[in-house]
């Protein structure tokens, strides 16, 4: 059975940038501006605060945080830091290990932080289907995966990059499915958590070449057309046909990058009756014709 979440993460093609261990003591604050790499944190010991997207979260030992988008955020000590106090500067202690705040005092918090990038050229579209922040508490599997990613990133073993990309895919899937429920923010996770909508979403992913319309997708979900449209819009955050178009364009880009398929074959595989119809839709969506896009890859 086609798994939409696994497909989306695979298409994102995550790649590790670097990871490090950080310890902090006293009153401290670090900030990252909007536009940095996506990242994740695991709190190993102690606790601290995170402010992201106008949301404040207190993190404690065992917590895992995933930030799939390039958002700015702030990490601070539990002790308050005055706004006029300059941000702390991490000091390198040993390779891959940093210290923040008081250098000699016992650490109040220790955490692993990793950064990664998405190699997919349409990463922004796919990331928009994911939560802006994932906070998971008490999932030891995630801590183990982060440790494996951290260890592998520091090693010079054969096939290191392949192993890292697979570990990151598993890490992202584990983190995302840990929060896949009806209370999740609008997006793919909330859609596939809905049993009715999940049937329609899986149909789109399994058969993108089918000439879907709202009525057909509603039948997959065993809902009336109006009820399905409203429920899909509310859960996923976009209309059903907009989601279908987003997914078809993501698949089209992947096939064009592989350079093993002609435009007509790509068009057929993503649900267009002719190369010209696909070219028009692709150009409108991407900003350049598929032939030019393929050459640029």
Segment 162-209, tens digit of pLDDT: 888 888 889 888 888 887 665 667 888 889 889 999 999 999 999 999
Element (H, E) at 49: strand 39-52
Residue 86: both structure tokens together? 């300059």
What architecture is domain 188-296?
Orthogonal Bundle (1.10)
Assign domain 4-177 to its CATH superfamily. Jelly Rolls (2.60.120.10)
pLDDT of the residue at 28: 93
What's 85's DSSP letter?
S
Cα(297)–Cα(293) distance, integer angstroms? 7
Residue 5: both structure tokens together? 């979440």
Question: Is residue 68 a contact partner of residue 130, using CB atoms and an 8 Å limit?
Answer: yes
4-177 with 188-296: one CATH topology? no
Segment 91-149, tens digit of pLDDT: 999 888 999 988 888 999 999 888 888 888 778 878 888 888 888 888 888 888 888 88
- pTM (2 d.p.): 0.78
> Domain limits of the chain?
4-177, 188-296
């Amino acid at each position: 059975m086609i798994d939409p979440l696994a497909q989306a993460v695979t298409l994102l093609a995550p790649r590790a940038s670097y990871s490090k261990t950080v310890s902090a003591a006293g009153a401290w604050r670090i900030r990252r501006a909007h536009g940095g790499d996506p990242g994740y944190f695991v709190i190993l010991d102690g606790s601290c605060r995170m402010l992201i997207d106008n949301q404040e979260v207190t993190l404690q030992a065992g917590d895992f945080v995933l930030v799939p988008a390039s958002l700015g955020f702030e990490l601070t000590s539990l002790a308050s830091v005055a706004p006029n106090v300059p941000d702390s500067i991490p000091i390198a202690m040993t390779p891959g290990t940093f210290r923040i705040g008081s250098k000699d005092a016992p650490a109040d918090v220790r955490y692993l932080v990793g950064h990664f990038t998405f190699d997919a050229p349409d990463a922004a579209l796919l990331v928009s289907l994911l939560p802006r922040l994932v906070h998971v508490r008490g999932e030891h599997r995630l801590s183990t995966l982060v440790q494996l990613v951290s260890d592998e990133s520091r090693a010079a073993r054969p096939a290191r990059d392949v192993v890292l990309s697979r570990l990151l895919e598993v890490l992202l899937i584990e983190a995302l499915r840990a929060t896949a429920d009806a209370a999740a923010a609008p997006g793919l996770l909330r859609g596939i958590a809905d049993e009715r909508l999940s049937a329609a979403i899986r149909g789109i992913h399994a058969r993108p070449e089918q000439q879907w319309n709202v009525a057909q997708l509603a039948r997959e979900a065993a809902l009336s057309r109006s009820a399905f449209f409203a429920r899909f819009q509310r859960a996923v955050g976009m209309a059903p046909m907009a989601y279908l178009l987003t997914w078809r364009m993501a698949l089209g880009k992947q096939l064009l990058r592989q350079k093993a398929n002609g435009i007509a074959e790509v068009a057929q595989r993503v649900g267009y009756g002719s190369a010209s119809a696909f070219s028009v839709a692709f150009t409108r969506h991407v900003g350049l014709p598929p032939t030019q896009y393929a050459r640029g890859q």
